[in-house]
Structures are given as C-alpha cells and as structure tokens.
Amino acid sequence: MNIARHIKPVAVVAVSDKFPVMPPGLEHDWRALNDLIDHYGQRQPIPCRDGHIEPSSAWTSERRAERDAAAKACSNCPALTQCRDYGIAHPKEEGVLGGLTPRQRTQAAADRRQQ
C-alpha cells in the first residue's frame, strides 16, 4: 500500500540543527519521517541511502542474511529512533525499518499494545 499519497505535506520542526523532531501527532507519517531523514542526511550518512552495505537492496531483501546486515547497519543511523517508531506503527510496511524486520516490528507492536 502506498501510504504517501494519503498524507498531506508537512514540515519537520527542527528544535535545533542537531535534533530535529517530528511535530506531535505525526509520528506515523511517512512523509514527516522522510523529511526528518533528509534533514539528518544533510549532516550524516543514512545507511539505507548511502550505500553502507551491499547489496543496497538488503533492506527489502528476501534473504535473511542480507536483512540482518541491513538491520545491523541501521544502528549507525541518526534517524534510528524515529524510523523504528514509524516502523512499529506500520508493521506491515515492507522491509527493515529502524533496525527491525517486519516480523520484529509486528512483535514490537503487539508488545506495545499490551503495555
């Protein structure tokens, strides 16, 4: 499902140049997340965008070893926390998000519902 077409454009609020945050209520917004990643990406490499591992398609690979390598590379991402929150809110989204596979995100979403 392409959720981006259902989402109104938004601007990411930068509290400071170092720690931009998504506006309240937009934690589930794909465009807001991408704006945030773009913002961070101007200062630091984003592993899934900047060729940190080969193949670059590892984040959506069917191969477990490649997905695991992608998830490990996420640990160096400045947007890890926000990407993981988005991914847990959308566990059916394809691929590794925030260092978690869809299966891990489904489990994390279930855990959060029980809290």
Provide the minimum distance between the beta carbon of 20 and ligand SF4 in the complex, in angstroms, as a whole number. 13
100 touches ligand SF4 (CB under 6 A): no
Provide the minimum distance between the beta carbon of 106 and ligand SF4 in the complex, in angstroms, as a whole number. 16
Q: How far apart are CA 49 and CA 45, in angstroms?
A: 8
Which DSSP state fits 24?
T
Q: How far apart are CA 26 and CA 49, in angstroms?
A: 22
Specify the 3-state DSSP secondary structure of 14. Answer: strand
Q: Is 88 exposed, middle or buried (0-12, 13-18, 19+ CB in 10 A)?
A: buried
Binding-site string for ligand SF4 from residue 21 to residue 60, where x marks contact by CB under 6 A and - marks none: ----------------x--------xxx----------x-
Provide the minimum distance between the beta carbon of 58 and ligand SF4 in the complex, in angstroms, as a whole number. 10
77 touches ligand SF4 (CB under 6 A): yes
Instruction: Of 33, 109, 104, give the one whose Cα is nearest residue 67.
Output: 104
Provide the minimum distance between the beta carbon of 112 and ligand SF4 in the complex, in angstroms, as a whole number. 18
Are 77 and 59 in contact, with CB atoms under 8 Å apart? no
How many positions of this chain bind ligand SF4 (CB under 6 A)? Answer: 14
Select from 58, 83, 88, 108 the one that contacts ligand SF4 (CB under 6 A).
Answer: 83
